């Protein structure tokens, strides 16, 4: 299975260069290169994202002591993201394929916009009280969970800036906290899809899922080692353009 391994590695390299899992780019490849229906691609993307997040968390884990002070952040975001993931999976399963294509295209476009904004504008942490911060954290979690279950992504592109902006956490720690939020969120999304028709596509595609997941893990390691050779800001803009083009193509597909 050279093709899934190749594309998995390519996505892993992109994700490793950005410090993310790269699932945003995996979804267009699953739909346009491997010709999966959008909802089937979302479920397969969730499974590969789950494997990738576990591996990334193992690779990044330093010590319990380094993470312990930030448990309230994780729990606040999780309380919202689990609700969002549950709702998103139910919504995606109920709407027709063409409308789902258009919704997913819109969500991909929003992520592309977030990537461009991050690369061009520096945001200082918000200075707000605990109640407002908790409300915003919960609300952001709901949105993140919705994106996760409807795109099959880990949501790091949204979680990391949320943690940095709301709580002023160092970006390296924010990356680890992001993985801790993503893992249960993905699991809830998969649980909600388990009895739906698209989940039947998983078993016959286990080899593809396995090779693509292996490629993603290998590519993430390669991408991380190449990090010093690329400008992070320019890379985000370049990849956001690719994501925008994918969103436009998927939207056109949904309009046909």
- Tell me the whole-structure pTM to 2 decimals: 0.84
Higher pLDDT, 229 or 206: 206
DSSP 25-57: HHHHHHHHTS---HHHHHHHHHHHHHHHHHHHH
Residue 238 has pLDDT above 80, yes or no: no
Q: What is the rounded distance in angstroms from the CA atom of residue 118 to the CA atom of residue 102?
A: 25
Per-residue pLDDT tens digits for 58-111:
776 766 677 888 999 999 999 999 999 999 888 888 888 788 888 888 888 888
Helices 97-120 and 130-151 pack at an angle, to 10 degrees, of 130
Domain spans in the chain, listed from the N-terminal domain onward? 2-255
Query: Which residues, 6+ apart, have CB-to-CB distance to 84 below 8 Å?
Result: 141, 142, 143, 144, 145, 146, 147, 148, 149, 185
Predicted confidence at residue 177, as pLDDT, reads 87
Q: Return the pLDDT at 232.
A: 60
Contact status, residue 254 vs residue 101, Cβ threshold 8 Å: yes
CB 153 within 8 A of CB 24: yes
Query: pLDDT tens digit string along 23-56?
Result: 888 888 999 899 898 889 999 999 998 888 888 7
- pLDDT tens sequence across 171-222: 778 878 888 898 999 999 999 888 887 788 888 899 999 999 998 888 877 7
**Residue 163, pLDDT score:** 86
In this predicted structure, the answer to whether residue 127 has a pLDDT above a threshold of 90 is: no
């Amino acid at each position: 299975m050279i093709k899934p391994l190749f594309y998995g590695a390519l996505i892993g390299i992109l994700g490793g260069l950005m410090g993310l899992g790269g699932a945003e780019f995996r979804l267009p490849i699953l739909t346009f290169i491997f010709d999966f229906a959008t909802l089937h691609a979302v479920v397969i993307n969730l499974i590969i994202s789950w494997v990738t997040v576990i591996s990334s968390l193992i690779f990044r884990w330093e010590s319990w002591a380094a993470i312990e002070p930030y448990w309230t952040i994780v729990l606040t975001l999780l309380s919202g993201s689990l609700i969002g993931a549950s709702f998103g999976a139910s919504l995606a399963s109920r709407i027709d394929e063409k409308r789902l294509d258009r919704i997913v295209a819109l969500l991909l476009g929003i992520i592309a916009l977030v990537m461009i904004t991050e690369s061009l504008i520096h945001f200082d942490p918000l200075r707000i009280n605990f109640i407002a911060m908790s409300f915003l954290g919960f609300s952001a979690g709901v949105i993140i969970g919705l994106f996760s279950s409807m795109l099959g992504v880990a949501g790091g592109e949204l979680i990391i800036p949320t943690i940095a902006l709301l709580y002023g956490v160092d970006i390296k720690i924010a990356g680890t906290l992001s993985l801790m939020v993503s893992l249960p969120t993905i699991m809830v999304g998969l649980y909600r899809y388990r009895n739906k028709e698209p989940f039947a596509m998983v078993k016959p595609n286990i080899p593809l899922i396995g090779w693509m997941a292996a490629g993603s893990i290998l590519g993430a390691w390669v991408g991380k080692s190449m990090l010093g050779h690329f400008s992070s800001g320019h890379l985000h803009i370049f990849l956001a353009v690719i994501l925008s083009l994918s969103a436009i193509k998927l939207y056109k597909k949904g309009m046909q």
